[in-house]
Structures are given as structure tokens and as C-alpha cells.
Amino acid sequence: MQETTANKVAANATSSFTEHLQRDRPELLPFTRPLAGSDLAGQPLQVPHATTIVAMTHAGGIVMAGDRRATMGNIIASRHIEKVFPADQYSVLGIAGTAGIAIDLTRLFQVELEHYEKIEGTLLSLDGKANRLGAMIRGNLPMAMQGLAVVPLFAGFDTAAGVGRLFSYDVTGGRYEEQEHHAVGSGAMFARGALKKLWRPNLTEAEAIAVAVESLYDAADDDSATGGPDPVRQLWPVVYTVNRAGARRVADRELADIAGTIIESRAAARREA
């Protein structure tokens, strides 16, 4: 009996872990679970939402950063949430939107890429990764129609082209390659304004990290759902860099120095806005 089951699994093997679940265990997918109580009195569920994510290219790859605040209506649900994750060795994923579903989708995407590598014996191309993420977001569309949307930001180092690349999405899974920089989440409008002024071609990695932190600082200044650097609690943004050597999380001590410099310079200038 066990041998028959094993043979059936082997015969149905696919390089896509998500397709495998859709065929054999669809109830395990985050966007196919029943949402009990979501339509009570026509009101959407009050759940934590994650914002804000910024990403940009630089001379050697890409940088992605996210603040640490999650909100639930007018309440701060968490000051410690992490919104930027390594997808695999050469790519990272930032989440905005409904936090619980976004984190589940992130984990599924990580398994999807690992599964492909084990089955095919090679890494999926950056375009292939971006396309598969779009398909997962499209699968979440029924939940998005109930107000539980997930809008990620995806970036990585294209080993074939030797450059960092950046992709944004809409709730239908539409994929758009961004040039230079981009931001998503409730503070995105303010972060993009900062990026337009601070970003320039051929930034070094260290300069790009500083620009990412300052753009999140500006977003937090005008968007209550975005949390800025917090020296009292020693909370700093989550920042990842990806280059030819792979993905790296920037150390908190480095981010503390950058945030301290920004705060000191603005305090010295006595800036109101």
C-alpha cells in the first residue's frame, strides 16, 4: 500500500510545489482556506496589515527595506513585525497588505523555489521566480476581493545579466518590472517622494542602504501606519542586500549608526518637515 502511494506521488511529481498542493492537498494553500465570519454584517475582518516596503537598484545589486510596524485599523498591532525575507540565495521578498496571509504566501514561495531547485537540479531564473510569485498572488484574488489583499515587492540579482532587478505586483498578480526604485504600502507615496530626491545612478551598497533607511524615515513622518527607527526600543528597519555573492541581512548595529546620523542631522537642522 505504501509502495503504491509512493509510486503515485512520484508519477505526479512536478517542479512546482504549489501545483502539487493544488492538485493533491488544496486545503493547505493559504488562499483556499474558508474565511469564517468574514462576511458578518458585511464588515471586513479587523486583521493586522503590514507597511511600508522600499527597494532600489545600486551599482552592485539591489537593496530592500521594510519598517517594523503592523496596524489594525487605528491600533498598532505590532512594533516588531518583519516584512522583508530572503526568497532564496539570490532574491528577496517584501510584503505589504494583510500580514497573516502575506507571511503564509512568503513561506509557500520559499518552499516553491527550494522544491524547484531540488527537482530540476538548478535555480529558477529571476524572471521565472517573478512569474511564479505573480501566479500565487492571482490565486489570492478571492481573498483580496474580501479586503484581504497581499501586494509584495520582489527583487533579486540576475546572475545571467549581472544586475539587480526589481518587480512590483497588483492584486490580480500582474507583474511589472520597475526601474531604479519602488515602494509599496500605506507610506509608499511619501517613500517614493524621498527616493526620487535621494536615489542616483551607481549608488554604492552602503549609500543605497542609507537612502532606504531615510526614505522609510520620511514615510513614517507622514504615515501613521509606518514605524520609523526607534532608538528607545532599539528597533530598526529590516534591510537586505542582494548582489553576486547572494542575499545578506544588514546588521542592526549598522542600521543604528545610519538612523542615528539621520536623526542627528535633522535635529541639528531644526527641520519641521
51 noted as active-site residue = yes
Q: Which residues of 224-263 are buried (b: 16+ CB within 10 A; e: fewer)?
A: ebbbbbeeeeebbbbbbbbbeeebeebeeeebeebbeebe
Selected catalytic residue, list 4, 14, 18, 51:
51
Q: How far are the Cα atoms of 57, 110, 123, 255 from residue 158, in angstroms, in the given order?
A: 12, 17, 11, 26
The DSSP bridge partners found for residue 86 are 92
Is residue 173 a contact partner of residue 138, using CB atoms and an 8 Å limit?
yes
Is residue 93 a contact partner of residue 154, using CB atoms and an 8 Å limit?
yes
Q: At what angle do helices 17-24 and 126-139 cross, to 10 degrees?
A: 30
- Catalytic residue numbers read 51
